Amino acid sequence: MIVENAMPRRIAVAATAVVLALSGLAVSGAALARDYAVEVVVFRQWEASGADGESWPDVPPALPQDVRVSRPGGGPFRRLASSAYQLSGIRQRLASADQYVVLGHFGWIQPDLAKGRNQWVAVGDGVPAGERIPETPGLYGMMRVYVSRYLHAQVDLRYRRETGGTVYPMTQSRRMRSDEIHYLDHPLLGVIVQARPLGDGDG
C-alpha cells in the first residue's frame, strides 16, 4: 500500500493503491539486525499549480557537505538487483502518463538501519562538491533510511529542469512502516520509497 498523509489524487492514477493514514510502529531490535532492501522512484510532475505556483529561493539552500554519502552500491550498501525491484509497475505507470517524467529508479541493500542516520545515499547525478549546483539540467542530492525508534526516510534533493534555470529544492522526512510504499509529495517532484526486510529474491 502507498501511505501519505494527504496524497494528491493525481498519484492514484499512477500507483493505483489504497491510501491509509500512517500509524507507525516502533522497530524491534530483531528487525534492526536484518538487512533491508530500499527501493526508490523519483519523478517530475507537470501541473499548472505546481512549480509555477510556488515561490522558490533565488539561491537554493546548499546541500550538506559534512555528511557521509555513498552511491547505492558503495560504502556499506550493496546494490539491489533490478530483478528484485517491486516498484517497477508504479514506475511504468508513471512513465506512460503524459504528466510525469521518471527521473530515477534505484535501490540498495542496507545492512544496519540503526546506523542509517549517518549514512546517506547519493540520488540522481550525486552530490556536487562545494555549494553550487551545476548549471546543466539534472537531479542532485541524497537520501537516507534509518531507525530512531521508528523507521524514517529523509530526502534532500535539488532539481534543475533547464540549463541555467531555477533550482528547485525538496527537503522532507517521513516516518514509515516496513514493507509499505510511501509517497513524498512536492509541487514539482515526487518520491516513492519502500524499505522491506531482505528476502530470498532480493540481492
- Answer whether 60's CB lies under 8 Å from 167's CB: yes
pLDDT of amino acid 4: 47
User: Is the whole model's pTM more than 0.85, yes or no?
Assistant: no
pLDDT at 11 over 60: no
pLDDT of amino acid 131: 60
φ/ψ (deg, to 5) at 29? -60, -35
pLDDT of amino acid 59: 56
For the sheet containing 78-79, what is the strand order?
19-20, 2-3, 181-185, 189-197, 36-45, 100-110, 78-79
Average pLDDT over residues 87-116: 90
pLDDT of amino acid 137: 86
- Nearest Cα to Cα of residue 39 among 166, 180, 167, 140: 180
